[in-house]
Amino acid sequence: MGINLQKGQRVDLTKGNANLTSIKVGLGWDPIGQEKSGGFFGKIFSGGSAGGSGRDIDCDASVLMLQNDKVIAGDDVVYFGKLTSNCGSIRHSGDNLTGDGDGDDEVITVDLNSVPTQYNKLVFVVNIYDAAARNQHFGLIKNAYIRVFDDRSGNELIRYNLTDNYSNLTTLICGEIYRHNNEWKFAAVGSGTNDIKLGDVVRRYQ
């Protein structure tokens, strides 16, 4: 059974677990006003009772690859338009167009041993596409989570349920995987921002 984290907590991933070389990061959520579970990085119909414009909520997952806690180049961002990092160590499952189905909707694979040494941190972000025009925000979702599981065994290692009130916020910085003393750790961040575009989020790290 994986470890359940609270906001701000940190936990070792690889210390004492030398066999953990590749992980997957999955995210999930439920739209308010709907019973069917969807993915955190999907597109769901918000409906009139759930707020917003009644259009699909288009949530896009991204990974920022940081060098000394900064994004140095545009190529260091993995998202629906660039599914694989230049080094090949990070692979995005692709943009989910429906959000249908239970469990994870989008999954990001990280080959920990292949992440070049100049990168000290990976930041996992989700933002709502065209949020301002559609009058949409993360107050329209519930049961959001980020989890880390072993790529080989499928065993869940970490789960962090994002339980804060994210009303009127359009971007979530969900969690970070970072190097510490030559080992990898995970930090539960769960911070929301008013950033409208992915570029706005990237500028926070420049």
Give the pLDDT of residue 65.
98
**To 10 degrees, the CA torsion angle through 180, 191, 130, 65?**
-10
Structural domains in the chain, sorted by start: 3-203 (2.60.60.30)
- What does pTM read for this prediction? 0.86
Q: Is 140 helix (H, G, I), strand (E, B) or coil?
A: helix
- Residue at token pair 């929301």: 192
Q: How far apart are CA 183 and CA 19, in angstroms?
A: 12
Q: Mean pLDDT, consecutive 10-residue segments, the chain of 206 residues?
A: 92 93 86 51 38 61 95 94 96 66 80 97 89 86 86 94 92 95 96 93 95
Give the pLDDT of residue 129.
79
